[in-house]
Amino acid sequence: MSFFLQRMFNRKKTPEPVKLKPGEYFTLSDYYEKQYPIDLEEFKKACPFDKNTTDLTKKAFIPADLQDLRKSDYPLLKKKHFLYFLALHTALLMEVYKHFYNNYDEFKERNKGMIFEYGCSNVYLYPWDILRALRVSFDKDLFWACFREVFTKLRTDDNFCGINEEDFMEIFINDPDMNNEKYSYGKSWKKMCQIEWDEIVLSSIPRYHARSSE
């Protein structure tokens, strides 16, 4: 049996949708589709640095923003799913910036996220450091459910912006910054990331077969 087919047979059972607390959308997918972009814009507005910049596409964000928001007990910090989506989008933006810079501007526009800079060229706060700064405990099931939402949408909405998705994921999965074992998120990154990505790809195969037979 080929390696690809073996993965297909060994893939885990599709998990149940994550249900959110009262006052949220019923499923994580609904939240990510409808509310996350709104929450992200509110989060950007709340960052205390660079208050005078009203155009959020030009506003600068620094690590101290996170500390100030944490000290103020900002409401969005209680939404762990929002913070996981934020970290994953930060990871995406950084990866594109490092390895696919010609696609960066379009990618940043179509894939909502933000990057916290230290004020020096190309020196950023890495995704797991964002979560550490906000003292976000690791919820494995929720984290990987957020991963599935982000990467399924990235793929099905053609948001790779001309980047070959397999080339991107090969780099992304093996990125040493993502595989940082100092953090719970990094310890199982490579293994779990590959499992989740394989599941996303495999789940789309019938759709592609159907298209080819039309």
Residue 22 has pLDDT above 70, yes or no: no
Give the relative orientation of helices 140-156 and 80-99 as an angle to the nearest 10 degrees: 50
Number of domains in the chain: 1
Neighbour count for residue 82 (Cβ, 10 Å): 21
* pLDDT of res. 3: 39
* pLDDT of res. 25: 61
Cβ atoms of 77 and 83 within 8 Å: the answer is yes
Range of the domain at 39: 3-213
pTM listed for this prediction: 0.83
Q: 32, 63, 28, 68: which is closest to 48 by C-alpha?
A: 68
What would the pLDDT profile of 104-155 be if each residue is shown by its tens digit? 888 888 888 899 999 876 788 999 999 999 999 999 999 999 999 999 988 8
Neighbour count for residue 208 (Cβ, 10 Å): 10
Q: 127, 114, 132: which is closest to 44 by C-alpha?
A: 114
Backbone φ and ψ for 167, nearest 5 degrees, come out as -60, -45
Angle 53-127-61 from CA coordinates, rounded to 5° = 10
